[in-house]
Structure formats: structure tokens, C-alpha cells
């Protein structure tokens, strides 16, 4: 599989996905003109970087909240060199994925030394203030906006590093509890199933009693399914990857959902594109069964969302629709799932990958965390956007090239 991380990064906890990095660049509005503006300034402003570095560490060492973060003069000397290199890259480097990864490492270093996010914002403000004076001194005030964008990009990447760290920590306790509970509950459930079988074989039940037994069996199976999902979620995912055609996945998903979606009057529209042209199928590389599991979870959520919507258009209820597009890209493939449900609230978007968080009474809160776990295991990325017009998930998967 084509890994987006360099070999030297493999042992690290996590990397920032390409899709999220591109989202940051787009949000900030950073362009090639900004790259050129920064390079134009570099030669004039670099001699003053030493002053920025000195001011930065003076401020931190004199503040009682941040002084204890540093282990001693030797560490500060190393960090001063790193900050100087960071400033050079700020003005000279392309905003490619390698740049993003170097910034991500800086964020992880901040987490590692225990510098709290609020102090990281303050630290960045020191750099911002010092650079503003230097840029203006050399007559580049008109280009200051490009520096602002560059600093915002770096800050957003580092904040994301903190966010991922906090998310990982929040998952550890419920994961441990989920694994223990699942194993403890599984044995009593097996005993219940065994005794229910014995009752059904030897009992002369009335129609009502048979319905009760059937209902009990269905509920037990539902609990067993949830327990299995919990146990699977706590285990490392071992992928069996191969190249397959998107038409194969479409066929399998149609078979899975045809009856369910048809009964709810929801249409599923599949498309396959290469570049701007529609094709009959595109090649995807990954673990077919795991990716199918992720797509099933997303389609089930989309189906629930569409059913929840009761929009009247000209006196008639709008038809539910789910669009699934498989696309081939230069770096791999993209799977896009879009529904015309009521959309998700902002707070739900923020917590949707949180274990056991659900907005549905009958939900387990495992569906989307499992989806993210599967996509992460493929070194891919998943992003979601939502509005009153519906919700859209976009999955980026790397290609087969090693």
C-alpha cells in the first residue's frame, strides 16, 4: 500500500491526513502568490530571526507558567536552533504535505513537553508580534497578510495535534471498559441462548409465549451484535488488501440494501468517475470487507437521516436520496456518500467519532468510530460536511503503489 507517511514517521502515534491539510489551506486562503511574497521577504528579514528567537525564549523563561516546561540550558539551546529553522521554512518552503508533517511534529513536541494549548497561542503571538515589526521595518507591510496566513496554517496544524491527542486519551478508558464488559457479558448471553433453546424444544407454548421467545431471541442477538462490535473495535485491524473494482463494491452494497431502502422509498444512485469522465468502474486498493463494513455503517446512517426528514415540497413528501460516487485520483481513490437528510448539528459533527456518542435512541455510538478506525488503518482520511440540505462524507484512500 502507498503510505502517505515517510518511513521515519511510521512509529509515530498519528499523522495529519492530506485531506485535512488541504482543508486548512483552503480555509486560510493560502495561494502561490503568498508563497512568492514570503520568499521575496526572506533575504531581508532572515538576519533578524535571531532576535525573534531570543525574545521568544526570554518571554517563556521569565513566565512562571511556562518556565518549568524546559529541562535546562541544553534543551533551550536545541529548541532555539529548531525555532530558527522553523522561521526559515515559514518564509521559504512550499506548503506541501512534507511541510505539513514537519509542523505536525512540532505540535507533538509541544504535547510531549507539556506546554498547554493556551500557552502555545501566546507563544505564537510573540512570534507574530516580533515578525510584524521586522517585516514593516524592511518595507514589506503590504505583504504582511501572507505572513499572517502562514502563521495561521502552522497554528491550526499544531492545534489539531493537540486535539487528536485529547481524543486518543478520551478513548482509552471507554475502550478498556468496553472490552472488559463485552467479554463478561458474552458468557451470560450464551447461557441465555442455551436455556431459551431448551425451553423452545420442550415447551408446549401458546402463540403469545412463542412470540415472547422470538422477541427474546431477537433482543439477545442484538446485544451479541453490539458486544461483537465492541470487541472488534478494541482489537488492532489486520488488513488484507487487494485491488478491486468499484462496480464489485456497488453490486455488494446494492444486494445488502436493496430491500431495506426500497421499503423506505429511498433511492441509491451509484456513479464511477475518472477525472471528469464517468466510467463503468474504477480501481480501488484496500481491504474489501473492511471498506464494505465502513460503507455499510455510513449508508445505514444516511438511511436513518433521510427517513427522519419530513420535508413537504408542493404538498408532496420529497423522495429520499443517497448518492455514492467512486472516483479515481492521481494519488488513489475517493468515495463520496451524500444524502438529502436534515443534516447534522455542529455539536454532533464535533463528537461524531466519539465512542458511544449517538443521537438516536436505538443507536450504539459505535458506527462512525468503527468507520474512522477502518479508514485510519488504510492510512486514508474521512471528512464530513453537513447543512440543512444533507450530509456528505468524503473518504480518501491511497493507491496501491509502494
How much is the pLDDT for 6? 37
Query: Whole-number mean pLDDT of the chain?
Result: 80
Task: Give pLDDT tens digits for 258-307.
Answer: 888 888 888 889 999 887 667 778 999 999 999 999 999 999 988 888 88
242-398 architecture in CATH? Answer: 2-Layer Sandwich (3.30)
Take residue 28 and report the three cell numbers written for it.
486560510
Name the CATH topology of 7-169: Globin-like (1.10.490)
| pLDDT given for residue 110 in this prediction | 66
The residue-averaged pLDDT of 321-330 equals 90
Confidence of residue 39 (pLDDT cuts 50, 70, 90): very high
Taking the domains of the chain in order of start, what are their residue ranges? Answer: 7-169, 170-234, 242-398
pLDDT grade, residue 49 (50/70/90)? very high
355-382 per-position pLDDT tens digit: 777 777 666 677 888 898 899 888 888 8
**36-50, 69-83, 239-253: least confident range:** 69-83
Q: What pLDDT digit, counting tens, does each position of 126-142 carry?
A: 889 999 999 999 999 99
| 295/111: higher pLDDT | 295
What is residue 191's predicted lDDT score, i.e. its pLDDT? 85
Q: Look at the domain 170-234 and name its fold.
A: Helix Hairpins (1.10.287)
pLDDT attached to residue 336: 94
Amino acid at each position: 500500500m502507498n503510505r502517505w507517511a515517510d518511513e521515519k514517521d511510521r512509529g509515530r502515534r498519528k499523522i495529519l491526513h492530506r485531506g485535512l491539510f488541504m482543508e486548512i489551506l483552503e480555509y486560510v486562503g493560502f495561494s502561490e502568490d503568498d508563497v512568492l511574497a514570503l520568499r521575496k521577504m526572506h533575504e531581508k528579514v532572515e538576519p533578524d530571526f535571531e532576535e525573534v528567537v531570543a525574545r521568544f525564549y526570554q518571554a517563556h523563561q521569565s513566565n512562571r507558567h511556562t518556565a518549568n516546561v524546559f529541562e535546562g540550558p541544553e534543551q533551550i539551546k536545541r529548541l532555539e536552533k529548531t525555532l530558527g529553522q522553523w522561521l526559515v521554512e515559514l518564509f521559504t518552503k512550499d506548503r506541501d504535505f512534507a511541510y505539513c508533517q514537519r509542523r505536525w511534529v512540532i505540535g507533538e513536541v509541544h504535547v510531549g513537553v507539556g506546554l498547554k494549548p493556551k500557552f502555545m497561542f501566546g507563544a505564537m503571538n510573540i512570534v507574530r508580534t516580533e515578525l510584524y515589526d521586522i517585516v514593516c521595518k524592511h518595507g514589506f507591510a503590504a505583504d504582511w497578510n501572507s505572513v499572517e496566513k502562514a502563521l495561521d496554517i502552522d497554528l491550526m496544524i499544531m492545534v489539531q495535534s493537540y486535539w487528536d491527542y485529547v481524543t486518543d486519551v478520551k478513548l482509552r478508558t471507554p475502550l478498556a471498559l468496553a472490552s472488559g464488559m463485552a467479554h463478561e457479558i458474552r458468557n451470560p448471553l450464551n447461557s441465555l441462548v442455551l436455556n431459551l433453546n431448551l425451553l423452545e424444544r420442550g415447551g408446549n407454548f401458546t402463540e403469545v409465549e412463542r412470540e415472547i421467545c422470538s422477541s427474546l431471541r431477537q433482543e439477545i442477538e442484538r446485544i451479541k451484535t453490539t458486544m461483537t462490535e465492541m470487541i472488534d473495535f478494541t482489537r488492532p485491524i489486520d488488513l488484507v488488501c487487494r485491488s478491486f473494482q468499484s462496480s464489485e463494491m456497488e453490486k455488494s452494497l446494492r444486494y445488502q440494501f436493496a430491500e431495506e431502502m426500497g421499503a423506505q422509498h429511498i433511492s441509491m444512485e451509484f456513479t464511477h468517475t475518472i477525472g471528469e469522465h464517468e466510467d463503468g468502474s474504477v480501481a480501488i486498493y484496500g481491504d474489501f470487507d473492511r471498506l464494505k463494513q465502513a460503507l455499510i455503517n455510513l449508508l445505514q446512517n444516511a438511511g436513518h437521516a433521510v427517513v427522519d426528514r419530513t420535508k413537504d415540497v408542493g404538498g408532496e413528501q420529497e423522495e429520499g436520496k443517497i448518492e455514492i460516487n467512486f472516483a479515481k485520483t492521481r494519488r488513489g481513490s475517493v468515495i463520496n456518500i451524500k444524502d438529502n437528510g436534515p443534516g447534522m448539528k455542529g455539536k454532533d459533527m464535533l463528537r461524531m467519532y466519539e465512542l458511544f456518542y449517538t443521537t438516536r435512541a436505538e443507536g450504539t455510538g459505535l458506527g462512525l468510530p468503527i468507520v474512522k478506525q477502518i479508514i485510519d488503518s488504510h492510512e486514508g482520511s474521512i471528512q464530513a460536511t453537513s447543512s440543512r440540505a444533507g450530509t456528505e462524507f468524503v473518504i480518501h484512500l491511497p493507491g496501491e503503489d509502494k
